[in-house]
Amino acid sequence: MKTLRKALAVLLAFMMVSGIFALSVSAAGRKNYLLLGDSIAYGQGIANSQDACYGKIVADTNGYNYSNYAVDGYTSSALLKYLDVDFVAEGVRKANIISLSIGGNDFLTSNMVSLLISGKFGSGSRFDTIGEKFSANFSAIISKIKKLNPSAAILVQTVYNPNAGFFSDVYQKGADTINGAIRSYLSSHGGAFSIVDVASAFAGHAREYIAADTIHPNAKGNLVIAKLVLQKLKALGLGSATEPVIKNPAIDWTGSSGESKGNIISYFMKLFKKYMAILFS
């Protein structure tokens, strides 16, 4: 009986070790997928961002190892510095595929109220200044990523217009400024990265694809971006599926401090007061 128990124990241990080894080999054999950039890449527009954002959908669909190093509020200047952080640089070195979302905050956080006013009623020259700064930072970001990992496939998302109201034309000018810089870099550095044209996919769908915060993609918006990324990866020979696999359904964000969509006016009032404070500070 003791001999039998020992044999069973040895067999069980062998099976456990074999299973762990198999999982390790399986994980090692998968492509490493890394997200960098701002709150769009982070998944800010949904409540369960890290379980259900578009990056996670892409990773689950294609069986990638998944890492999301995006940070809410990041501008191109912040991301450029972030790439010098040790664990971020190491993540870039190990990545086979990198999705990059950056640029929206370069104009969204540039004293937004005064920017909207100048864009709507003034010359809009401040957008040129923002574009020049973003262009320089973006060039440095791509160069730094390429230096850390020359072989990684880089997917750069265009910036969409989240506004369908009175200031929609100003938001569009901001998005066009950033996207123009992205496309200009690519035209002079052919093959440096691939563009995922989120801007075109979101055009005319702001009220359908944007969360209650009026900025970030909601559950449907994340799904749209996931499909775009999957299509691009298949075209590049880095994936085979274009129909997303949803392991964790996204939960739409309904407002900070528990606001619901039915009480979203109070949320907008808080935003207005915040922006007015910035304008007159």
**pLDDT by residue (tens digit) across 206-217?**
999 999 999 999
List beta partners, residue 154: 98
Nearest by Cα to 157 from 121, 198, 125: 198
Q: Is the pTM of this model over 0.85?
A: no
The yes-or-no verdict on residue 263 having pLDDT over 70 is no
CB burial of residue 141 (10 Å; 0-12, 13-18, 19+): buried
pLDDT tens digit string along 132-145? 999 999 999 999 99
Q: Which residues of 73-93 are buried (b: 16+ CB within 10 A; e: fewer)?
A: ebbbbbbbebbeeeebbebbe
List beta partners, residue 109: none
Q: What values do phi and psi take at 232, rounded to 5?
A: -65, -40
Domain count, the chain: 1
Average pLDDT across the chain, whole number: 83
pLDDT tens digit string along 178-208? 999 999 999 999 899 999 999 999 999 999 9
The yes-or-no verdict on residue 96 having pLDDT over 70 is yes
Residue range 71-76: mean pLDDT, rounded: 95
Q: Which residues of 104-129 are buried (b: 16+ CB within 10 A; e: fewer)?
A: bbbbbebebeebbebbeeeebebbee
230 confidence band (pLDDT: 50, 70, 90): very high
Kind and range of the H or E run holding 145: helix 125-148
Residue range 32-38: mean pLDDT, rounded: 98
Lowest mean pLDDT among 120-124, 228-232, 260-264: 260-264
| Amino acid at the residue 225 | I
| Residue 273 within any structural domain of the chain | no
Q: Which residue has the tokens 């007061």?
A: 273
> How many residues are there in the chain?
281
| Residue 8 within any structural domain of the chain | no
| Residue 195 within any structural domain of the chain | yes
The yes-or-no verdict on residue 281 having pLDDT over 50 is no
| Residue 276 within any structural domain of the chain | no
| Bigger pLDDT: 114 vs 14 | 114
| Residue 102 within any structural domain of the chain | yes
Q: What values do phi and psi take at 215, rounded to 5?
A: -125, -50
| Amino acid at the residue 278 | I
Domain span holding position 178: 29-252
- What is the Cα–Cα distance from 144 to 150, expressed in whole angstroms? 10
| Contact present, 232 and 155 (Cβ < 8 Å) | yes
Q: What values do phi and psi take at 67, rounded to 5?
A: -135, 135
CA atoms within 13 A on the CB side of 230: 23
What pLDDT does 116 receive?
63
Nearest by Cα to 73 from 47, 45, 106, 34: 106
Nearest by Cα to 33 from 101, 97, 100: 97
222 confidence band (pLDDT: 50, 70, 90): very high
Alpha helices (H) along 189-263: 198-202, 206-209, 219-235
| Residue 6 within any structural domain of the chain | no
| Residue 264 within any structural domain of the chain | no
| Contact present, 213 and 45 (Cβ < 8 Å) | yes
| Contact present, 254 and 212 (Cβ < 8 Å) | yes
Q: What values do phi and psi take at 272, rounded to 5?
A: -60, -45
Tokens for 178, please give them: 């950033």
| Contact present, 61 and 223 (Cβ < 8 Å) | no
The yes-or-no verdict on residue 119 having pLDDT over 90 is no
Residue range 244-251: mean pLDDT, rounded: 95
The yes-or-no verdict on residue 99 having pLDDT over 70 is yes
Return all residues near 4 (Cβ < 8 A) that are at least 6 apart. none
CATH number of 100's domain: 3.40.50.1110
